[in-house]
Amino acid sequence: MSAATRKLLVDVHTHVYLPRYASLLRSRSAAPRILSRPTADGAGTEERLVILDNEPSGGRPVGPQYWDRDEKIKFMDKHGIDVSIVSTANPWLDFLPAAEAPSLAEALNADLDAYCATAPALSPALSRLYAFGLLPLVPAVPVPALLAAVAHIASLPRLRGVIMGTRGRGAGLDDPALEPVWAALARAGLVVFLHPHYGVPSSEWGDRENGHVLPLALGFPFETTIATTRLILAGVLDRHPSLRLLLAHAGGALPQLSARLASCVAHDPAVAQRLAHDARWYLGQLYFDAVAYGREELAFVAECVGRADSYEKGADRRTQSAQRTLGSSRLLFGTDHPFFPPLAETDKWQSVTENLEAIDGVEGWSDAEREGVRGGNAARLFGLV
């Protein structure tokens, strides 16, 4: 079967720290940084990644999986992943001064395009690697520098979107200064991958040693939930209906809280009158990675997304199966590689197999719907076919 006819498995949530970025992290003495320390047996040294606030136990082990492209391809081959849309991992350029961020963004975006372009291809028309570029989203960066970065990314053939955190230029993503940036991203057809980093203040996590569990399992998704809600409430999706936003970790808690959000908006007329739609409607405008690790969770997100437009006044009622198709068409497989590596020598990574099994296991999805989530939806969204 040729690559063009085979059903593709596409990973839309897979990270890299390019060598240029890893060098920057090694040069730093405060987080985010890569530090070197003696191994526990004293026989050598090991590198550790320290990127989160108050990170426990000296951060996390870090190695070639994060920067070596051959390791990415080996990981893809091991799990049958045909195409990856790679993104720089958090915290991107957030910590840089405005004088440095634009030139580093430009260099890293060119590096990313080369990282993809020089990898083995599946066919003359289909690479194995595409990428999300980086914007120099830091406090006080001039908006024209952001627009120049959007134009540069749009000119690089393997870059199909941008990854961004939730802080924008320091005032969040509902900052009115970002209006021209949303307009430029929508016009360029670049997919915006919204990804958390800061989570919830560490004071919320108590004194018990819970490792990375609370910041990653709860802090990350709540951060995405808040940032997306602020975008909705600021009317960004009303003003830029063609903007394509992909939410990390299946949209965090947004699907679960969307009816409560709609109710709170409806009871707050000053907010309600700003919005063109019921708050639940906006879920149908978004894309969600399928990094949820469970079939019930995927089914629930698809159901919320598929019925999103039924809350419009006078909306036609779709059949349940039409809702399911619509909802699943907004979900896209991802792995979060190289985070969550297996703790013991195993053939496949649990963080990958759980997400694939979840897609396989959703009750009531047709083969076509599963294939869409595995890769067909990504192929359409990122213009791969």
Q: Cα separation of 117 and 123, whole Å?
A: 12
Q: Cα separation of 130 and 114, whole Å?
A: 10
Q: 216 is in the binding site of which of ligand URA, Zn ion, none (Cβ under 5 to 8 A by kind)?
A: ligand URA
Least separation in angstroms between CB 340 and ligand URA: 7
Q: Among residues 9, 25, 89, 131, which is the contact residue for ligand URA, using CB under 6 A?
A: 89
> Site mask, ligand URA, residues 99-138, x = CB under 6 A?
----------------------------------------
Which residues, 45 to 74, sit near ligand URA by CB under 6 A? 51
Q: Among residues 3, 104, 216, 259, which is the contact residue for ligand URA, using CB under 6 A?
A: 216
Nearest to 330 by CA among 372, 366, 273: 372
Q: Are 121 and 50 in contact (CB under 8 A)?
A: no
Least separation in angstroms between CB 212 and ligand URA: 7
Q: Cα separation of 260 and 264, whole Å?
A: 6
Q: Are 141 and 97 in contact (CB under 8 A)?
A: no
Q: 137 is in the binding site of which of Zn ion, ligand URA, none (Cβ under 5 to 8 A by kind)?
A: none
Q: Which is nearer to Zn ion, 213 or 266 (CB)?
A: 213
Count of positions on this chain that bind ligand URA (CB under 6 A): 7
Interacting residues toward Zn ion by CB under 5 A: 336
Q: In this structure, what are the phi and psi dihedrals at residue 159, rounded to the nearest 5 degrees?
A: -90, 120
Q: Which is nearer to ligand URA, 339 or 365 (CB)?
A: 339
Q: Which is nearer to ligand URA, 106 or 223 (CB)?
A: 223
Q: Which is nearer to Zn ion, 53 or 100 (CB)?
A: 53
Q: Which is nearer to Zn ion, 113 or 289 (CB)?
A: 289
Q: 243 is in the binding site of which of Zn ion, ligand URA, none (Cβ under 5 to 8 A by kind)?
A: none
- H runs (alpha helix) in the chain: 19-26, 69-79, 101-117, 143-155, 179-188, 213-214, 220-233, 236-239, 254-266, 269-272, 295-306, 320-328, 350-361, 367-371, 377-381
Q: Which is nearer to ligand URA, 130 or 339 (CB)?
A: 339
The two three-digit tokens of residue 65, written as one number: 């999986």
Q: Which residues contact 264 (CB under 8 A, 6 or more apart)?
A: none
Helices (H) and strands (E) in the chain, counts: 15, 13
Beta pairing, strands 45-50 & 33-38 = antiparallel
Name the residue with the smallest CB distance to ligand URA. 339
Q: Among residues 182, 287, 339, 382, which is the contact residue for ligand URA, using CB under 6 A?
A: 339
Helix, strand or coil, per DSSP, at residue 19: helix
Q: Among residues 330, 336, 337, 378, which is the contact residue for ligand URA, using CB under 6 A?
A: 336
Least separation in angstroms between CB 339 and ligand URA: 4
Least separation in angstroms between CB 299 and Zn ion: 22
Q: Which is nearer to ligand URA, 76 or 299 (CB)?
A: 76
90 binds ligand URA (CB under 6 A): yes
- H runs (alpha helix) in 252-363: 254-266, 269-272, 295-306, 320-328, 350-361
Q: Which is nearer to Zn ion, 11 or 336 (CB)?
A: 336
Q: Cα separation of 298 and 140, whole Å?
A: 39
> Site mask, ligand URA, residues 3-22, x = CB under 6 A?
------------x-------
Site residues, ligand URA (CB under 6 A): 15, 51, 89-90, 216, 336, 339
